[in-house]
Structure 1
Amino acid sequence: MSAPALAAERVAGLLREQILDAQLSSGARLVEAELVTRHGVARHTVRAALRTLADEGLVEIRPHRGARVAGLDAEAIIALYELRTALEVEAAHLALARNDGRLPGSVHEAAEVLARAARRARPRWSTVSRAHADLHTALVRAARSPRLEAVHDRLSAQTRLFLLRVRPHYTFARLAAEHLELLEAIERDGPEAVRAHLRASAATVVDGMLTAAR
C-alpha cells in the first residue's frame, strides 16, 4: 500500500472511532481544511478518508455542502434490521446444522469478550460496540459461508452506528447479558431466536425516536 493510501486509512480509522465512540455526533460537519490541519495530511488524503467512510455509511458527502457524520432515521433502521435478519437467521441455521446443533466455541468466546468489556470499571462505548460487532461476525462466520460473511461485513460500520441509537436504552451490563441469553436461545429454540432479538432491538430504538419526535 502506498504512503498516501496508508495516510488516508489512518485518518479514516481515527474518524471512524470518533464517530462510533460518539465523540462526533450525527450531523456534525467534517470540514476538510480543519481535518488537514488536525491530522497533518494533504487535502486529497482527507477526501480519500471521507470517501472511505461514506462507502461504509458513516459519512454523508453532499456536493457543494461538504461532509457530515451520517445518522440513521427510522426507515434506515428498519431496512438495516430486515437485511441483518435475513443474513443472521440463515447464518444461525447453517451454524447449528454444521456443528451438531450447537454454536462453535468461537461464538461463545466472542460473547465472553463482550461480557468482559462491559464489566470493566470504565468501559468505553467504542470497545463494547466493537465487541458486539465481533460477536455477530463470529455468529455469521460459524455458518462457514464466505458469501454470507462478505455481505454481512459490509454492514459492520452501519451496525455500530445503529448501536449509538441503542446506547441511551441499554446499560453495558444489559447489552452483554442479552447476548449471552441470545446464544442460549439459539441453541435451545433454533435460529428464529435471532429474529426475535434483532426485532426487539430495532423496535426499542424506533419507538424511542417516535416518542422523542412527539
Structure 2
Amino acid sequence: MSTTTAVDRVAATLREQILDGGLPAGTRLVEADLVTTHGAARHTVRAALRTLADEGLVTIQRNRGASVAGLDADAILALYELRAALEVEAAHLALAKHGDRLPPSVHQSAEVLRRACSRARPTWSTVSRAHADLHSTIVRAARSPRIEAVHDRLSAQTRLFLLYVRPYYTFERLGDEHVQLVADIERDGPDVLRRHLRAAAGTVFDGAVARERSG
C-alpha cells in the first residue's frame, strides 16, 4: 500500500521543477494557481509549500506569499561550510573503515554520474540526481547514521546549489571531474574533497557577489 499523500505528490512535483531549473529563483508560487494546476485543495498546496520551505527551496513571507528560494552569497558560504564538515569527515571515516579505499558503491556511483554526463543528450534532472547520489554514497560509506541523517536533510539544497554551478561546467567536465575526485580521495586523502567543494563554492560565491553588487 502506498503511503504517499497528496501533500507529498504536490511537493515532489514542485521540488523537481525547482531543481531541474523549470522554476527559477524568485518565481512566485501563487496558491490559487497551484490549486488549479495540481487539482489539489488549498490546504494541500499550503502544506506542500511549507514542506519545501523547510527544505530551503521556497521562501514564504507574510503578506507576500511564496516564491522559489535562491542562494545568496551568505547561503552559499554556509552550505559549503556544513557540507565540508560532514562530507570530509565522512570520507575520513569511509577510508578508515574500508582499508584506505572507498567501497565499490562509491566507484559505481561515480560511474553512473559519468555515464549520465556522457550520453548523446544528457538530461539535467538525471545528472543532478546522479551527482547528489555520489556525494550521498560517500557519506553512507562512513557508516555514521548521524552524519548521514544531517547530510540527507541537505540533499535538496545541494541539488539547488548544483543549478548555480551548471553555467560553469560542461556535462563532460562534471562527469570526468567526479570520477577523478574519487580516485584522488583514495590516493591523496579526504582533503581533496574539501578542495573540490571549496572550488565549486568559490566559483558560485563570486558569481553571487557580482549579481548582488550589480543589483
Partner of 1:61: 60
Q: Distance in 1 between matches of 2:134 and 2:2?
A: 32
Does residue 202 (structure 1) correspond to residue 201 (structure 2)? The answer is yes
Instruction: Provide TM-score, normalisation by structure 2.
Output: 0.96
Q: Distance in 1 between matches of 2:170 and 2:209?
A: 21
| Displacement after TM superposition at 1:122 (Å) | 1.7
Question: Which structure 2 residues correspond to residues 169-188 of structure 1 after superposition, within 5 A?
Answer: 169-188=168-187
User: Per-residue CA shift, 1:101-154, capped at 9, x if unaligned?
Assistant: 000000011111111111122212121111100000000000000000000001
Q: Distance in 2 between matches of 1:2 and 1:144?
A: 29
Partner of 2:70: 71
SS at match of 1:17: helix
Name stretches of at least 5 consecutive residues in structure 2 with no aligned partner. Answer: none
| Displacement after TM superposition at 1:157 (Å) | 0.3
Q: Distance in 1 between matches of 2:190 and 2:84?
A: 10
| Displacement after TM superposition at 1:2 (Å) | 9.3
With over 3 angstroms needed to count, the CA separation of the structure-2 counterparts of 1:2 and 1:41, relative to structure 1, is farther
The size of the alignment, in residue pairs, is 213
Partner of 2:139: 140
Name stretches of at least 5 consecutive residues in structure 1 with no aligned partner. Answer: none
Identity of aligned residues (%): 71
Partner of 1:34: 33
Task: Return structure 1 stretches of 4+ with deviation > 4 angstroms.
Answer: none
Q: Distance in 1 between matches of 2:73 and 2:209?
A: 8
Question: Which structure 2 residues correspond to residues 1-214 of structure 1 after superposition, within 5 A?
Answer: 6-212=5-211, 213-214=213-214
Root-mean-square deviation (CA), in Å?
Answer: 1.4
Q: Distance in 2 between matches of 1:77 and 1:200?
A: 12
When structure 1 is superposed on structure 2, of 16-25 and 121-130 the one drifting more is 121-130
| 2:111 maps to amino acid | E
| Displacement after TM superposition at 1:210 (Å) | 3.1
Instruction: Provide TM-score, normalisation by structure 1.
Output: 0.96
